Structure 1
Amino acid sequence: MNLLFNGRTCYLRNLTVDDAAEMVQLLLRNRDYWAIYEPRHRDSYFTVAVQREKIRESIYQARENREYSFGIFEHDTNKLIGHISMYSIKRLPFLSSLIGYSIDEGYIGRGIATEAVKLVIAFGFEQLRLHRIEAYVSPRNLGSIRVLEKAGLREEGLLQEFLFINGEWEDHYYYAMLESEF
């Protein structure tokens, strides 16, 4: 299933195995920046072979309607500048999913992440017919909190010592949007 969503500043499309080398470059450029809020990865993660396998797995997950992973591409250059996923898709009685995203450090503050989140939310509610879309965010990640709030999600609470990131248990806010709020 080839999916493409166009926004004003970016577009989203399914990654293919041909994107693996460009994904490695994106990951390497942001290795330290993204490790502030995400677990660090072993060196082997930053290889074309591993990224090609991750993309193959994401294609399989999409076919099974369990997860959708997209590259975030800049309109003007077609450059891969981030990734966004709708994952942990649950069917009735939940009809929910989580979203997660990362933007190249060189592109933050331009509204691209907010636009990408809005595009994925529209996909979730309009095409997947979900009832609820959720996201977790570190209380320290003020930029990502702004993204979620601008995209229309609202904070529902704090999950204490929720994720083990780089040797520490970290709290995370829980954000959500209901289908009726879309």
Structure 2
Amino acid sequence: MLKGALCNVRHITTVDLPTYIALQNELENRGEYFSQQFHSPEALRREFAATGFVTDDREMMLVEDKTGAIVGSISHFKSRTPLAREIGYRLLAGSGGRGIMTEATRLMSDYLFRAYQYNRLELLMNPLNIASERIAQKCGYTYEGTLRGMFFTDGQVRDAKMYSLLRSEWEQWRGSDVSRERHL
């Protein structure tokens, strides 16, 4: 489990599975920037039974607030670029504005750079998703550009903004965090 001041990031357990499946298929929880495609509950159960949603290609985790309530999910998966990993996250409706997904993204970034040899982490987002862009910026990610026609979401082909964080930047950024903490 990855523990923060505002949230915890943890693997999905058997007890969580019914809630997770329901959340995956509740359109109200998806917001305007996520696919409206449903996920088969039976396929999700089979995948969980086979892998626990953890493979070499992808690791899916839940984000819970400090009361233990599930407020979102975060994952990392193979990127389209070598030596990189992409992070994806989704905050449930009504859970925004508290800094939880920013902290979850920091926790996931720290975890990936400490546990693996990745040189680069990436975040892709809808160009209109200002909240997601702020998360990227607060976590030290750099805007690289807009990928045109990248996703098919909500019946339309959409662009995606790409942000990245290199290991060297993370090391410098995390070092300045530690230095700041010592002086507080």
Q: Distance in 1 between matches of 2:32 and 2:139?
A: 23
Match of residue 59 from structure 1: 52
Q: 1:54 to 1:32 in 2, by over 3 A?
A: farther
Q: Distance in 1 between matches of 2:106 and 2:50?
A: 24
* 1:155/1:175 contact within 8 Å kept: yes
Structure 1: stretches of 5+ with no match in the other structure? none
The alignment partner of 1:107 has SS state of: coil
The one-letter code sitting in structure 2 at the alignment partner of 1:24 is I
* 1:58/1:67 contact within 8 Å kept: no
Q: Distance in 2 between matches of 1:15 and 1:108?
A: 21
- TM-superposition CA deviations, 1:13-45 (whole Å, max 9, x none): 11123211121343355x235252122123xx3
Aligned residues: CA RMSD: 2.1
Match of residue 76 from structure 2: 86
Match status 1:73 vs 2:54: no
Runs of 4+ in 1 over 6 A off after TM superposition: none
Match of residue 148 from structure 1: 136
* 2:31/2:93 contact within 8 Å kept: no
The alignment partner of 2:162 has SS state of: strand
Q: What count of residue pairs does the alignment treat as equivalent?
A: 170
TM-score normalised over the length of structure 2: 0.83
After superposing the two structures, state which structure 1 stretch, 121-130 or 19-28, moved more. Answer: 19-28
Structure 2: stretches of 5+ with no match in the other structure? 171-184
The alignment partner of 2:15 has SS state of: helix
Instruction: Map residues 1-182 of structure 1 onto 2, 5 A cutoff.
Output: 4-27=1-24, 31-42=27-38, 45=39, 47=41, 49-56=42-49, 59=52, 61-62=54-55, 65-76=56-67, 78-88=68-78, 94-182=82-170
Q: Distance in 1 between matches of 2:84 and 2:76?
A: 10
Q: 1:16 to 1:142 in 2, by over 3 A?
A: same
Q: 1:28 to 1:169 in 2, by over 3 A?
A: closer
Q: Distance in 2 between matches of 1:22 and 1:167?
A: 27
* 2:17/2:45 contact within 8 Å kept: yes
Match of residue 175 from structure 2: none
Q: 1:106 to 1:46 in 2, by over 3 A?
A: farther
* 1:156/1:176 contact within 8 Å kept: yes
TM-score normalised over the length of structure 1: 0.84
Identity, % of aligned pairs?
A: 25
TM-superposed CA distance for 1:69, in Å, is 1.2
Q: Distance in 1 between matches of 2:50 and 2:140?
A: 30
